[in-house]
Each structure stands twice: as structure tokens, then as C-alpha cells.
Structure 1
């Protein structure tokens, strides 16, 4: 990375609720990286735990934004995709990657569409299949086990064995240019793990963090944003996964005990501790 590095993140803006762009922008910026945004939709709140929220789908705006960037010569060293509002947007995003990513630029795809064995309310298998095609443009893909199962057309279950996780990661290697970061291994009682697979070097490693029994909306976005930032400043995928996992754990720890804070995690309070994690994990 240098002082001109620019990342584009494509995902929704939830005006209230700590997720998507309102996580990605501050977290990646904390790494000293200029972060541009392309909203896929604008919501009054996120969709978990709120009722009556408003949604403005921005699909029709994407081609015009791309065209303007082309006329201005705007391009990016990395593109990081998160929550995408519609299957139609996936085609536009492919065009943006092809048009606006610098040579040797990196693509990070977080296929944010499902968790705990279920699709988010606006998605289905047809969307998952198109998301799988977007993943194939990614240098890094970051699915959880539910998203992985939908991409692979496999049944999901709450607990996978270590061997099953390894097999799933290997199958996902057909859906990435190089790296699979498969989240959600819980075969160790007191630790939560993820697999880091490098198809080019034919390596597969587990990365573990202490497990916290706490579920919250937005933790996947906290993890992915910290992973992207860590990678872009030169961390190995294993180190970036460790930094991202520990940062997410600290954000959860800042939130536990506050019964009024049910809509996300207090990642902002963990940002000052991020720099110590970067020094700790090489």
C-alpha cells in the first residue's frame, strides 16, 4: 500500500444500525486507506430487529455513476463488495470491476446474503447462484457456512466437523481466483475458527479466536472490513484473518452488558485497539 491507495466498497447504507457502509468506511479508513463508497441501497435502518423500515433501491443509479467515473478517470486499487440489493446489481458490479479496477487491483467479495441456515429476507437460491458468479471475480471470498452451502447447493447444519469444513473450503476454491476465507468453524468447544485456503499455493490453514456466545447483526461486516484493511496494508491472509477476528471479538466485548444496544456492535470503541492487533499479528 502507498499513500495514494484507494478502495471502493459497494454495499448498502443503513442510516441507523451498525452495518455495511457505516462499518466499512470508518474501519477501512482507520488503516489510513482512502475509501470510496457506492451504495447499493439506502435503508432507514437495517432489517434485523426493526419494522417499517424504508428502502431505496439504487440499481438504476449504478450505470450512470460508472459512466461518470469513467469520464473522470477514477479508478481503484481494490473493490470490496458486501450487501447487494438485487440480482440485477450483480451484473452492473461485474462491469464496474472490469472498468474501474486498476491493473493488479484486488477484489474482495463478502457474499452477504444469509446466516444461521437461512437467506436474508430479500434473497433466494437464484440470487445465490448469481452471487457465486461474482465470487469467481474475487481474489478473496469471505462466506460464512450458510452462504457457502447456498453457493455450493449443499445442506446446512449448525455444526460441521473439521473434515467437512475442509471439504467445503476446497469446493469453494472453484469460486475464487485465489483465496477462500470460510468463517464459522466451531468444532472446538471454546474457540471459533475459520479456514484460509490459498488455491495457488495449495495450502489450507485454520485460524482461531476465543469464542463469545453472542449474536449480533453487523459482525460479519466488522470482520470483513478489518480483513480488507489488514490485507491492503500487507498482512498475510492468515494474519489478516486473525486481526479481523480479534477486532470483531473486541467490538463484541464492548457491547456485551448494554441491553439497549441490540442493533449492532460497538466497533467504534474497539478502533483504538486495532493498531495493537496489527503489531501483534504479522
Structure 2
């Protein structure tokens, strides 16, 4: 019998709101991949559009969980990091990668810390610099333009030209020596794009999806989770980006027009279409 592929995702649990682990667990599982979770924090809701939410930081639990996994001989074929609560957690996560990832395992880093030119609440440049260290040990990194600018100490702006996006992607590749999926290219009218740098094939490609004029919390998590799933089942970085972009677009389309659904996108409704999306790429 073929051995089951196991992936660990490390990010927060927002008990209400479609983001982080509540996205990663069902989406990656839909690819037929066994998905384990390690929460970095537990929040009553996510932080966008809600006030008075509760936060339980789980930093000190991370090394204890790692020690238990070591005693049980638990290893993973891939590790995928999302929202991380503190600089200290990044060091603990490095230890988990060193000790719990199989020798040929892959690491995916979504440096979820900023968007639209600003850090998320509680993050700063010191955190971005530490996140840059984590990106250097990831096999695939998936920043948006704001996160890329903070990692590279560049100035952010609302729109970047094609040439500027290429320069940023190349700088990220030079900095990390990893596969880079840089999200947020807007220079092509009516399209939302990204740059995919495939280190193994030495290729750089712009990947586009039709743009849906709708902004929502959690779309980055939908994209990253479906990218991870696609890559684990054997798709190239470019193919995975196309699948993830299409899956995310369809999830946004399912949500547009519902004024009561302001806390995420209805990705669950698109999961039954996932296999068709994979076959179409």
C-alpha cells in the first residue's frame, strides 16, 4: 500500500472567519493529502472587521508539541507556515523543520504579516527581517508585494510596473535562493497576476487570472493552501500558481453579491470543482 503523504501546517486558528487553519485544513485535505495542524495562536475571530476579539498565544506550546512528536517518531513530508505570532515562534518553527521534516521534505512559507502597504497589527520591521530568515529555508515562498518590500527593505507603492515586479521577484530569488511566487501584479488591465520564479527550471513566468473587483480577508490563505496542495501532488510551480489562482478567483466569485458575507470567501462551494480545475491546467 502506498504510504500516505503527510503535511503539517503551522498558523493561527481563527475560530470564526475563513482564514488560516480553517482554510488550510479543508483545502489541502481536498487534494487527498493528510493534513496535521499546529496552531500558533487561537483567536475568537480573525482581526479584520471585528473588534474585541480574544487572542490566546501558543508560543510556549510549540516546543512541547515538538518534543512529544519526537518521542512518537512523527515526521512530515512537507511543512507549510502561515500566520506566525512572534519572533520567538519563528525560532521554534525552525527547530520543528530541522527535527520533524523528512530528508526530502519541502517547506512552504507564506510570510503572512502585511498587506496594502502596512504591517498587520503587532508586526514591525524586526519581525519582517526574522521572517526573511525563515524564507531562506523555505523551498517555496509566497509573499504579496507589501511583504516582499518589507523583506527586501524596499519602498511599497499602490501599483508596480511589469519591470518593477520582475526586479522585485529577481531580488527575492537572489535573497532566498528559493522558488518565488510574488503575488499582486496589477499592471495588466482586467487581470490579477503573479510572477513565478522556478529555480529548478531557471524560468520566470507571469501568471494571470481574470480580476474580480472584490477585496476580502483570507484570499491569500485560499491561494497559498491550494498552491501547496497542487505542488504536493506533483504540479510545477507555474501550474500550481495557475490552479491556486483559478480556485481563489472562483471562491471570490461565489462570494460577490452577498452583503452579509464580509469575513472571508466561500471557498467551500468551490471544493467540488477542484479536480476539474486541476485537470484543466
Class of the TM-score when normalised by the shorter of the 2 chains: over 0.9
The structural deviation recorded for 1:113 is 0.3
Task: Give the aligned partner of residue 262 of structure 2.
Answer: 262
Measure how far apart 1:122 and its partner are: 1.3
Q: Could you say which residue in structure 1 is the equivalent of 2:155?
A: 155
Shift of 1:3: 4.6
- Matched residue, 2:84: 84
Q: TM-score, normalised by structure 2?
A: 0.98
Q: What CA distance in whole angstroms lies between the structure 2 residues aligned with 1:75 and 1:5?
A: 10
Give the whole-Å Cα distance in 2 for the aligned partners of 1:176 and 1:72: 33
CA shift, 1:44, in A, is 0.2
What is the CA distance between 1:201 and its match in structure 2? Answer: 3.2
CA offsets, 1:201-235, max 9 Å, x none?
A: 32111111001111000000000000000000011
Partners of 2:279 and 2:41 in 1: CA distance: 36
Alignment CA distance shift 1:266-1:3 (3 Å): farther
| Aligned residues of 2:181 and 2:195 also touching (Cα < 8 A) | yes
Contact 1:178 1:200 in 2 (8 A): no
Query: What per-residue deviation string (whole Å, max 9, x for no partner) do you get for residues 220-262 of structure 1?
Result: 0000000000000011111110000000000001100110000
For 1:178 and 1:52, the matched residues in 2 are separated by 39
How many residue pairs were aligned?
280
- 1:134-172: CA deviation from partner (whole Å, max 9, x where unpaired): 000110000000000000000000100000000000000
1:71 matched to 2:68: no
Deviates more, 1:237-246 or 1:193-202: 193-202
Contiguous gaps of at least 5 residues in structure 1: none
Q: CA-atom RMSD, angstroms?
A: 0.8
| 1:231 and 2:234 correspond | no
TM-score (norm: length of structure 1): 0.98
The match for 1:214 is: 214
